């Protein structure tokens, strides 16, 4: 049986905007995050505390997070996780009031080098003091693994390689590990083989799916993951996004498409589709772009 309820983690303000060539005003980011929370999403990944030399679009991380947390519109119970690649990023996130941080590793060596400028082993060693600090301050720690099916530089990635990194992130104290098909090359059976390998090292309840939609497979891969009991998925409003260090990668599965799928299956998400569409219309107008989400296009035209 499929899960009866799914937790959606909206990553549009981070994964969606990190790759945008046009600068997005801090106030627009804040308004987007608030609209997404208003739509009923239980978690909105707000920003990332990374080097502004590497990712200039996230240079206002502290301002964004502070404003969202201090807002009179803030909804109780909504989580606002942020990415932190190192202790320096963690300290900045903590100072801005973060209650949840995410560390990000990769299942492929060359992607690790390109994305965070160190090997997989070095990244895990670098995360250890960050994980200790998160624990000491009572913050929740989430983990990401990139390139869980394929790598833009190394090609196919073996499920055992992914499971090995999942095991390490769990040992560091991550309550949940999000499995990133960074370049969206996965197909349902390959994704299931990967999840089976990961579910052999941590309970499936602690796994999340994070699927980019480069080849249009993300919704199918979500369904394949639901069949194995995965009940948390990352998605980006309007299908925005992509990783600046993954050539050719396009956005995450659109939140609108995922909500349409899940509600059609009778699976609860807590999300109000109309408010979600409003949030998408708002950010896409700022970016002067049409939604990539087919569900959004159909519903807005209706």
Q: Which residues are catalytic?
A: 243
Residue 133 host element (H or E): helix 120-136
- In the bound state with ligand HMG, the residue whose beta carbon lies nearer, of 82 and 273, is 82
Which one of Mg ion, ligand HMG, none is in contact with 19 (Cβ closer than 5 to 8 A by kind)? none
Q: Kindly calculate the radius of gyration of the chain based on its CA atoms and give it in whole angstroms.
A: 17
Interface stretch with Mg ion, choices 9-17, 48-56, 147-155, 224-232 (CB under 5 A): 9-17
Q: How many residues at the interface with ligand HMG, by CB under 6 A?
A: 26
CB of 281 to ligand HMG, least distance (A): 24
Q: Are 283 and 238 in contact (CB under 8 A)?
A: yes
**154: which residues sit within 8 A by CB, 6+ positions away?**
108, 109, 110, 111, 147
Name the nearest CA neighbour of 35 among 289, 286, 298. 286
Residue nearest to ligand HMG (CB): 180
Which residues partner with 208 through β-bridges?
A: 178
CB of 168 to ligand HMG, least distance (A): 16
Q: Does 243 contact ligand HMG by CB under 6 A?
A: yes
CB of 144 to ligand HMG, least distance (A): 4
What does DSSP say about strands 150-151 and 232-235: parallel, antiparallel, or unpaired? Answer: unpaired
Q: Out of 3, 10, 13, 15, point to the residue binding Mg ion (CB under 5 A).
A: 15
Q: Does 15 contact ligand HMG by CB under 6 A?
A: yes
Name the nearest CA neighbour of 237 among 84, 22, 38, 23. 38
Question: For the window 123-162, what string marks contact with ligand HMG as x by the rule CB under 6 A?
Answer: ---------------------x-x----------------
> How many Cα atoms within 13 Å fall on the side-chain side of residue 163?
17
Q: In the range 174-213, which residues lie near ligand HMG by CB under 6 A?
A: 180, 182, 210, 212
Q: In the range 20-49, which residues lie near ligand HMG by CB under 6 A?
A: 48-49
What number of other Cβ atoms are within 10 A of residue 54's Cβ? 15
Which one of ligand HMG, Mg ion, none is in contact with 16 (Cβ closer than 5 to 8 A by kind)? none
Sign of the Cα pseudo-torsion (253, 143, 225, 243, in order): positive
The phi and psi torsions of 87 (rounded to 5 degrees) equal -60, -35
Q: In the range 104-123, which residues lie near ligand HMG by CB under 6 A?
A: 104, 115-117
Name the nearest CA neighbour of 160 among 195, 129, 210, 117. 195
Tokens of 183: 């370049």
- In the complex, the residues that contact ligand HMG under the rule CB under 6 A are 15, 18, 48-51, 53-55, 83, 85-86, 88-89, 104, 115-117, 144, 146, 180, 182, 210, 212, 243, 245
Instruction: State the residues that interact with Mg ion by CB under 5 A.
Output: 15
């Amino acid at each position: 049986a499929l899960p009866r309820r799914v937790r959606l983690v909206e990553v549009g303000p981070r994964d969606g905007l990190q790759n945008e060539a046009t600068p997005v005003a801090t106030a627009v980011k804040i308004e987007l995050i608030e609209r997404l929370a208003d739509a009923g999403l239980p978690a909105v990944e707000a920003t990332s505390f990374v080097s502004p030399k590497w990712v200039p679009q996230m240079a206002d991380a502290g301002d964004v997070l502070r404003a969202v947390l201090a807002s009179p519109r803030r909804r109780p119970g909504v989580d606002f996780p942020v990415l932190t690649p190192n202790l320096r990023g963690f300290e900045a996130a903590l100072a801005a009031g973060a209650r949840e941080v995410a560390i990000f590793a990769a299942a492929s060596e060359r992607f690790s080098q390109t994305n965070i400028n160190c090997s997989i082993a070095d990244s895990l060693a670098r995360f250890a003091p960050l994980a200790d600090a998160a624990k000491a301050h009572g913050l929740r720690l989430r983990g990401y693994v990139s390139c869980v099916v394929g790598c833009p530089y190394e090609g196919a990635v073996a499920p055992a390689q992914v499971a090995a990194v999942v095991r390490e992130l769990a040992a560091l104290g991550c309550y949940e590990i999000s499995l990133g098909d960074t370049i969206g090359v996965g197909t349902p059976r390959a994704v299931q083989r990967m999840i089976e390998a990961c579910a052999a090292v941590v309970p499936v309840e602690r796994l999340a799916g994070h699927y980019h939609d480069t080849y249009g497979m993300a919704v199918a891969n979500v369904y394949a993951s639901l069949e194995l009991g995965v009940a948390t998925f990352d998605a980006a409003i309007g299908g925005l996004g992509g990783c600046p260090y993954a050539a050719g990668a396009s956005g995450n599965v659109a939140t609108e498409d995922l909500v349409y799928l899940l509600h059609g299956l009778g699976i609860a998400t807590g999300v109000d589709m109309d408010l979600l569409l409003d949030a998408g219309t708002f950010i896409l107008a700022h970016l002067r772009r049409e939604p990539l989400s087919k569900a959004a296009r159909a519903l807005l035209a209706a």
